[in-house]
Structure 1
Amino acid sequence: MQIDPRLLEAFRSVLDSGSITQAAASLGLTQPAVSAQIARLESDVGFALFVRSGNRVRPTAEAMAFREEVEQTLTKISDLSRVAEQIRAGEVGSLTIASHPMAGVTLLPPVVSAFARERPNIKVELFVRNSDMVRGMFPSRSYDIGIAELPVDPSGLTITRYRIGCVAIMPKNDPLAAYDIITPELMSGRPFVSMSRLWTAYHLVEKVFSDAHAHLNVVASSELFAAICAMVASGLGVSIVDRASALQFGAAGLEIRPFQPAVLYDIAVFHSADPNLSTIARGFLDAFDAHMRTFLAPSGES
């Protein structure tokens, strides 16, 4: 037996007020409409719910026994409506992000933290893997949003590309800090803490040094820009990293200077091209985009 929740609402209102007329007023219905609802409910349950007593109605013993279940049912319906509204608003659920190390360590933590604080009923899970693994994981749909170095196969995906300018970093009080702009010639032969050869960024830096006939003297390398910044701050050498990573470690003992020619580091944020992307995912993408706007390379750089 399926009972229309509206009939249960009418039953509770009549029971609470003791009057069909008053129940109708509180429900915004006419008295005949509420009487019809009570009659339908009585037909559905198979027993009388009220008997008339002058201008008022009195619940039957069966109605009083039925009342507790009705209250529980209406509470559950109310809870379902609340949860549905939270889901529609993107306030309940989960979000899984797979990211390459640079974004996973530097760009995403502040965005994830702010996003999760604003939505305490959402669980955000962040996986940090190299770009090849992030790209390779997507066909299994094991995450909602991916972030990796380009190229990313666009088949079935919506891709947003972000281009971040890189800067020169050096320890505090390093002689290079006397220059307003750092060039490959100024860094030539200096101990250089490099990103891994597996990264596109390494080959970008290698090319600008080669084009300038400067010596790239790599003494250490890491897959993590954060680790590179920490080694430079400790005095191991100089380096070129994305501006977001450099700013994150500026207080740890780094000097940061513009680098020319421009080294532009591209990342891709991607997700399924399915138009039914969750409200949570769309909200996070908007928050990440707003954060990234502070780090993008000027449009004139290429």
Structure 2
Amino acid sequence: MDVKLLEAFRAVVDHRSVTAAAGVLGVTQPAVSTQIARLEETIGFALFERSGGRLKPTPEGLLFYAEANRVLSEVDRLATTTAQIREGQAGRLVIASHPSAAISLLPPLVADFLQSRPGVSVRLVSRHSDVVSQLLPSESFDIGIAELPIDDTAVKLVKYRMRCVAILPPRHPLVSRKVLTPKLVAEHPMVLPVRSQQAPTRIFAAFASAGASLNIVAEAEFFATLCALVAAGAGWSLVDPLSAASFSHLGLVIRPFEPAIVYEIGAFHRADREPSMLAASFLELLEGKLGG
């Protein structure tokens, strides 16, 4: 059934006049009369009777009006939802990420993303990097974020690199130093990312090249745990700059480290289809944060 006919019928009922309905709809009076006649022909019963020079809905017309009004309200709601989807203002976004990104990178980004999108909901799934990268190809999430390496045969991958920073307890002997090096921190107690992750291999290589020794007193899986250990005075550490910034309120002293210890992550989605408009908008926000 033509929605335009229902709209004309509703306007006539609401205004009790073809002329007034035509004005509201922005069409001519004959056009509205023709639409009402077409609608009556389609449904097989009269919708109006004339009373005192005005149109009065028949009993059948009143019943039909209630249903037509309900249908048009749903059409209006659909139009609004369609516009929201088109503009990235409605929908659900599922992001699977490794814990460091879930703790330090994503919370402020998601909050910023949601602030201007009241019709959007986001679900964050936190898993180890190898688990996240193995979830594709599946329908379980829209965007994946994990440490490199990532098998990019089934995904479209964007890689991001960042330099790790050294973090120290507030009263560490080296807080006066502007830049830390393997020679400076050698023998000072260190808390290290677990050796199954990418950072330790690069840390060991840097210290070996400098002929310096590491004094490892603890290891932890997550950068967040390393930050908490350092803040509690367990030792110094090397973490990604986002984690360091997220936990700076604990009193961490953050310093550049030479030579560069590079930390790499990747954001990805399925390669066999384009991301949703919502996912594309979030990936653009992520690029603005990590790109360059």
State if a TM-score over 0.5 links the two structures: yes
**Partner of residue 142, structure 1:** 140
1:33 to partner: Cα distance: 1.9
Listed as ranges, the gaps of 5+ residues in structure 1 are 297-302
* Matched ranges for 1:105-116 at <5 A: 105-116=103-114
Listed as ranges, the gaps of 5+ residues in structure 2 are none
Figure out how many residues of one structure are paired with residues of the other and give that number: 292
**Partner of residue 241, structure 1:** 239
Work out whether 1:28 is the aligned partner of 2:53: no
Partner of 2:23, secondary structure, is helix
Structure 1 CA distance, aligned partners of 2:90 and 2:107? 20
**Partner of residue 40, structure 1:** 38
**Partner of residue 101, structure 2:** 103
* Matched ranges for 1:168-179 at <5 A: 168-179=166-177
Structure 1 CA distance, aligned partners of 2:274 and 2:159? 21
**Partner of residue 278, structure 2:** 280
Contact 2:137–2:270, Cα closer than 8 Å, also in 1: no
Residue 3 of structure 2: which of 5, 14, 32 is its match?
5
Identity among equivalent positions (%) equals 47
Structure 2 CA distance, aligned partners of 1:99 and 1:62? 58
**Partner of residue 152, structure 2:** 154
What does the per-residue CA deviation read over 1:238-288, in whole Å, with 9 as the maximum and x for residues that have no partner?
111111111222221221111001111111011123554212111211222
**Partner of residue 91, structure 1:** 89
**Partner of residue 300, structure 1:** none
Partner of 1:175, secondary structure, is coil
1:46 to partner: Cα distance: 0.7
Residue 258 of structure 2: which of 242, 257, 260 is its match?
260
**Partner of residue 162, structure 2:** 164
Residue 193 of structure 2: which of 184, 192, 195 is its match?
195
Alpha carbons of 1:54 and 1:253: their partners in 2 closer, same or farther (altered >3 Å)? Answer: closer
Partner of 2:174, secondary structure, is helix
Contact 2:190–2:217, Cα closer than 8 Å, also in 1: yes
What does the per-residue CA deviation read over 1:120-148, in whole Å, with 9 as the maximum and x for residues that have no partner?
33221111111111111112231110111
1:52 to partner: Cα distance: 4.4
Structure 1 CA distance, aligned partners of 2:256 and 2:137? 39
Structure 2 CA distance, aligned partners of 1:168 and 1:16? 71
Match for 1:76: what amino acid?
A: E
TM-score by length of 1: 0.91
